[in-house]
């Protein structure tokens, strides 16, 4: 079986994240310790004992999810899980995918995403921006909604997640107006998202300007496996292109439907979501119901995945 690894982005954090992995596997505990040392404070305590409100702050969320994801990955690797043939990550998760591919060292990645989160948070004060999921609406329907809802503010598509699920971002007022208009015009559901900044839209321009020098200072190698980029759904094959796509994605929409379909076209036969939550495995199943997808983010998930890998190997 040819596996594609998927790594989650913001919204999948939760209090206590990663604790059971660290208690059960020394490889996971080592990753959390590396993060603590690299950041100069106890990210472990924040993940395991912090409040939901603390974890929802972007500068905390990003290193927390990256660390949980890499800890899970290291456990799977230590237990002999098959090497993937491709990887991708949703927004922040693209950094995790590049750690998996060897493009980035983990400690460089965790420091970078801590800065990325801070830059994103400071680009738009808390409460000024917002994001929301629009369910049961197609992208072409949203363009007219955006034009009417903007009223001089920013609102645009941020994540094209699955057929009929689009995340929008922008000024809080414009996002609220777009949600109302979408419901009036037939959207099945609109859901405000628990994030502290409006990602992947023009309001993130100041964050991208500040992130550029940080990314330029970090060493990046050619990925050891294709990493499909958020910005164009193309496989990244050089360190320089990795740097470019990680910067471009700050203000660009995440083309997740295209990422999944192109990974399948490139030969991926099953997806494994690695890290907190189950959002990406669910999206993958909605994008292509014929391609299996499972989530691994805790001890039970690791055990289930290893059992499935053994069955596949034996079969």
Active site residue 12: no
Residue 315 pLDDT: 62
Pairing of strands 270-274, 189-192: unpaired
Strand residue runs (E) in the chain: 3-7, 86-89, 129-135, 155-162, 165-171, 189-192, 227-228, 235-236, 270-274, 293-296
Pairing of strands 3-7, 270-274: parallel
Domain residue spans of the chain: 3-123+203-314, 129-195
Please state the separation of Cα 202 from the chain's center in Å.
19
The top-level CATH class assigned to 129-195 is alpha beta
Active site residue 162: no
Residue 300 pLDDT: 96
- Alpha-carbon distance values, 209 to 53, 96, 244 (Å): 27, 22, 13
Q: Which of 69, 96, 200, 252 is catalytic?
A: 200
Verdict on whether the full-model pTM lies above 0.75: yes
Q: Which of 44, 91, 96, 115 is catalytic?
A: 91
Strand residue runs (E) in 8-154: 86-89, 129-135
Region of residue 132 (phi > 0: left; psi between -120 and 50: alpha; otherwise: beta): beta
CATH no., domain 3-123+203-314: 3.40.366.10
Residue 312 pLDDT: 78
pLDDT tens for each residue of the chain, 315 residues long: 999 999 999 889 999 999 999 999 999 999 999 999 999 999 999 999 999 989 988 899 999 999 999 999 999 999 999 999 999 999 999 999 999 999 999 999 999 999 999 999 899 988 899 999 999 998 788 999 999 999 999 999 999 999 989 999 999 999 999 999 999 999 999 999 877 789 999 999 999 999 999 999 999 999 999 999 999 999 999 999 999 999 999 999 999 999 999 999 999 999 999 999 999 999 999 999 999 999 999 999 999 999 988 887 776
């Amino acid at each position: 079986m040819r596996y594609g690894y998927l790594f989650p982005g913001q919204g999948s954090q939760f209090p206590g994240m990663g604790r059971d992995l660290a208690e059960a596997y020394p490889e996971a505990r080592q990753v959390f310790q590396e993060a603590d040392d690299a950041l100069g404070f106890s990210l472990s305590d924040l993940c395991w004992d912090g409040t939901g409100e603390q974890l929802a702050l972007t500068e905390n969320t990003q290193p927390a999810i990256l660390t949980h994801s890499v800890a899970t990955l290291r456990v799977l690797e230590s237990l002999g899980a098959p090497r993937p043939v491709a990887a991708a990550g949703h927004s922040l998760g693209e950094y995790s995918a590049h750690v998996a591919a060897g493009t980035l060292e983990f400690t460089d990645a965790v420091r970078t995403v801590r800065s990325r989160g801070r830059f994103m948070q400071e680009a738009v004060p808390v409460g000024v921006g917002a994001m929301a999921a629009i369910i049961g609406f197609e992208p072409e329907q949203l363009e007219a909604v955006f034009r009417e809802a903007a009223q001089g503010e920013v609102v645009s598509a941020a994540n094209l997640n699955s057929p009929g699920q689009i995340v929008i971002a922008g000024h809080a007022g414009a996002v609220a107006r777009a949600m109302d208009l979408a419901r009036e015009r037939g959207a099945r559901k609109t859901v405000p998202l628990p994030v502290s900044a409006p990602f992947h839209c023009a309001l993130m321009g100041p964050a991208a300007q500040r992130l550029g020098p940080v990314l330029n200072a970090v060493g990046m190698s050619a990925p050891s496996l294709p990493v499909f980029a958020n910005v164009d759904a193309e496989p990244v094959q050089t360190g320089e292109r990795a740097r470019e796509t990680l910067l471009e994605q700050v203000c660009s929409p995440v083309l997740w439907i295209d990422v999944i379909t192109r990974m399948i076209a490139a030969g991926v036969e099953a997806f494994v979501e690695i890290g907190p939550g189950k959002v990406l495995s669910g999206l993958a199943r909605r994008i292509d119901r014929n391609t299996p997808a499972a989530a691994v983010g805790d001890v039970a998930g690791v055990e289930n995945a290893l059992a499935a890998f053994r069955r596949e190997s034996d079969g």
